[in-house]
Amino acid sequence: MTDAARPRLRRFLPVGVLVLLALLPLGFEQYKLYVASLTLVYLVMAIGLNLTLGYAGQISLAHGAFMAFGSYGVAILGQRGWPVEVGLAVGAIVAFACGILVGFPALKVKHHFLAMVTLGFNIMVFLVLRNWESLTGGSFGISGIARPRWGLFSFGSDRAYYVYMVGWATLVVGSAYWILTSRWGRAFRAIRENEMRAEALGVSLRNYKLMAFAIGAAYAGIGGALFAPLLGYIDPGAYTLDRSIQFLMMVVMGGLGRFAGPFLGAILVTVLPEVLRASEGLYLVIYALAVILMMLFMPKGLVGIWDWAAGRRDAGAQPPVPAPPGRLRTG
Amino acid sequence: MALLEVRDLTKHFFRLPALSAVSLSVEHGDLLGVIGPNGSGKTTLFNCVTGVLSPSAGQVRFKGENITGLSADLVHRRGIARTFQLIQLFPEMSVLENMLLAAQEREGTLLGRLFRREDGGAADRAMELLEYLGIAGLRDTFASNLSYGQQKLLDFGMALMSRPEVILLDEPLAGVNPTMIKSLVGHIQALNAEGHTFVVIEHNMEVVMSLCRRIVVLSQGERIAEGTPAEVADNPLVLDAYFGR
């Protein structure tokens, strides 16, 4: 193999593997296919939170709420006869706008204070969902959410809908990669690494922090929009703070600020409970213990294992998102 | 018209004055030294000029425009770059990425930075500067893995990346070994000869005296002297400030 071919292979190999892996569950039985579908929802959500928290360093405990915008967008507009895609777009846009709104406190407060602000927002959204019965159906939620249909072709079956979700997940993964390899991605990481220096080099903390929140929220909205037709039924209970914490766990356990992090985190959070199901009552105990041990011994998340296994003593030798080869002219 | 003009700049921390009505002006092509004992307000002066702190009173004018109280990113985009006394880098980004980040925000729009992929020669310029500073071989190394001296050089290189009109260096030589002091001083002089404007805070008197053409002396937040190195060295007020009466 020539040296020139190697980077191209390195770039497309993961894509090929991912596509194959994504299509593998089509051969699964119904329940496993459902778990795989859920993993896709979580993947989309986790990519959003990883952008906000992992790359830009802004903690958010509101991703459950952003997710709700997408789910309710699809459900509410679906009741009025609009296609899923319109609900998804509206949900993502509303989430984007609310992301900007929630991002404003991030300009003033950091870390656990920001966590508190976003947590408050999540609770607020939950209360609105529960109490605005005429729109959201209150605690009963909305049922009979239809799956997408393109003309005569319907994504009604579980398998067809799974393929539909893979399509959206691919779009999300691709766009996230595109954003993170742009100058925005670099500015996000600079803010995470050293906010004061970033600002002194001309990085507008306001613009980039708001965008990090808004884009992360929009992805959560898309995740939520895919989630609603998967179940066919939604209620406010799915969008509580618990959900936000679950997403936080996913990106932290996968590996913050690493592109592979959300993939590993989403798979871990959906698959681990299934594997542990055999232990019955002990399931939650083992799960919690695993999380604690991981954070103690693998603070870099599952991606850290990869670094270690790849023999990179210096885990920092590789930038979190390798610049696409040939894009940077390096003289 | 002076390139950078500071008029009666004052900064209080609560009631404690850190800067009291300090004025100075920097002409194009200057190499101005700012000296003074510890706590005399040198870094506070830099912080107030570059928008890291917002001054309590007074004015900062750059190319005739009043930039007092602008946030640090806007000051940088106007063309004032700086280094920090305690090195400030992006530790988990490569040397090259540190350099590229330093150049990417000066021009263009926010959306342009998302959609435009070609870098307008920034990577070439970064490599050129890294070659010049002798750390080009470290381009893919994380900044956190550099030695102290290499970090200083990178910090310096980042300040140059955006082609600023004025560069404020906050103790560029502190903690640097004699060989590297020599090379850094050489870089500053050479760049100054090419027309770059510098304001340098430095404790190493020998270096300041030989490097700078003009020196401003601060003591307890006040400007107590200004002049050529020889004038400043003979000024009894300056000797008082450093050694006490």
| B48-to-A104, B70, B159 alpha-carbon distances in Å | 25, 10, 18
Specify the pLDDT at position B239.
Answer: 82
Asked if B158 is an interface residue toward chain A (Cβ–Cβ < 8 A), one would say: yes
Asked if B136 is an interface residue toward chain A (Cβ–Cβ < 8 A), one would say: no
Partners of residue A300 in chain B, C-beta under 8 Å:
none
> Closest Cα of chain B to A150: distance in Å?
31
Contact criterion met (CB < 8 Å) for A331 and B84:
no
d(CA A184, CA A241): 29
d(CA B102, CA B92): 15
Phi-psi bin for B225: left (phi > 0), alpha (psi -120 to 50), beta? beta
Among A14-18, A69-73, A124-128, A246-250, which is the least confidently predicted range?
A14-18
Confidence of residue A6 (pLDDT cuts 50, 70, 90): low
Amino acid at B10: T
Partners of residue A186 in chain B, C-beta under 8 Å:
93, 97, 100-101, 104
Confidence of residue B32 (pLDDT cuts 50, 70, 90): very high
DSSP letter for each residue of chain B:
--SEEEEEEEEEETTEEEEEEEEEEE-TT-EEEEE-STTSSHHHHHHHHTTSS--SEEEEEETTEE-TT--HHHHHHHTEEE--SS----TTSBHHHHHHHHHHTSSS-HHHHHH--S-TTHHHHHHHHHHHHT-GGGTTSBGGGS-HHHHHHHHHHHHHHT--SEEEEESTTTT--HHHHHHHHHHHHHHHHTT-EEEEE-S-HHHHHHH-SEEEEEETTEEEEEE-HHHHHH-HHHHHHHH--
d(CA A202, CA A310): 37
Is the C-alpha dihedral spanning A55, A61, A66, A71 positive or negative? positive
> Closest Cα of chain B to A198: distance in Å?
8
Specify the pLDDT at position A109.
Answer: 79
Asked if A316 is an interface residue toward chain B (Cβ–Cβ < 8 A), one would say: yes
Partners of residue A319 in chain B, C-beta under 8 Å:
93-94, 97
How many CB contacts within 8 angstroms connect chain A with chain B? 111
Contact criterion met (CB < 8 Å) for B162 and A201:
yes
> Closest Cα of chain A to B93: distance in Å?
6
pLDDT over 90 percentage in chain B: 54
Residue B126 backbone phi and psi in degrees, to 5: -60, -45
pLDDT reading at B178 higher than 70: yes
> Closest Cα of chain B to A208: distance in Å?
9
Partners of residue A314 in chain B, C-beta under 8 Å:
142, 145
Q: Single out the residue of A78, A42, A23, A6 nearest to residue A223, CA to CA.
A: A42
Mean pLDDT of A32-43: 90
Confidence of residue A289 (pLDDT cuts 50, 70, 90): confident
ipTM for the assembly: 0.89
Specify the pLDDT at position A291.
Answer: 78
Contact criterion met (CB < 8 Å) for A190 and B77:
no
pLDDT reading at B30 higher than 50: yes
Buried-state track A127-162, b at ≥16 Cβ within 10 A, e below 16? eebbeeeeebbeeebbeebbbbeeeeeebeebebbb
Mean pLDDT of chain A: 84
Q: Tell me which chain B residue has its CA closest to the CA of residue A199.
A: B73
Partners of residue B96 in chain A, C-beta under 8 Å:
328, 330
Specify the pLDDT at position A325.
Answer: 35
> Closest Cα of chain A to B178: distance in Å?
27
Asked if A331 is an interface residue toward chain B (Cβ–Cβ < 8 A), one would say: yes
The Cα angle at residue B102 between residues B100 and B105, in degrees rounded to 5:
95
Among A141-145, A258-262, A293-297, B55-59, which is the least confidently predicted range?
A293-297
Mean pLDDT of B169-192: 89
Mean pLDDT of B108-121: 84
pLDDT reading at B11 higher than 70: yes
| Strand bridging mode A153-154 / B65-66 | unpaired
Contact criterion met (CB < 8 Å) for A197 and B123:
no
Q: Tell me which chain B residue has its CA closest to the CA of residue A319.
A: B93
> Closest Cα of chain B to A118: distance in Å?
25
Specify the pLDDT at position A197.
Answer: 92
Partners of residue B162 in chain A, C-beta under 8 Å:
201-202
> Closest Cα of chain B to A322: distance in Å?
10
Contact criterion met (CB < 8 Å) for A330 and B123:
yes
Residues A229-268: tens digit of each pLDDT? 999 999 999 998 888 988 998 898 888 888 888 998 888 8
Is the C-alpha dihedral spanning B186, B190, B191, B193 positive or negative? positive
Specify the pLDDT at position A319.
Answer: 44
Task: Write the CB contacts of A141 (distance below 8 Å, at least 6 apart in sequence).
Answer: A233, A234, A235, A236
Confidence of residue B89 (pLDDT cuts 50, 70, 90): very high
Nearest CB to A200; choose among B50, B119, B140 = B50
Specify the pLDDT at position B83.
Answer: 93
Partners of residue A182 in chain B, C-beta under 8 Å:
113-115, 117
Among B26-40, B64-78, B112-126, B136-150, which is the least confidently predicted range?
B112-126
Asked if A204 is an interface residue toward chain B (Cβ–Cβ < 8 A), one would say: yes
Nearest CB to A316; choose among B71, B77, B142 = B142
Confidence of residue A323 (pLDDT cuts 50, 70, 90): very low
Asked if A194 is an interface residue toward chain B (Cβ–Cβ < 8 A), one would say: yes
Mean pLDDT of B154-177: 91
Contact criterion met (CB < 8 Å) for A184 and B113:
yes
Specify the pLDDT at position A5.
Answer: 56
pLDDT reading at A191 higher than 50: yes
Specify the pLDDT at position A285.
Answer: 82
Q: Tell me which chain B residue has its CA closest to the CA of residue A177.
A: B114
Q: Single out the residue of A110, A86, A102 nearest to residue A225, CA to CA.
A: A86
Quick check: A100 and A213 in contact, CB under 8 A? yes
Top residue of A197, A203, A211, A303 to mutate, by most chain B CBs within 10 Å, is: A197
pLDDT reading at A330 higher than 70: no
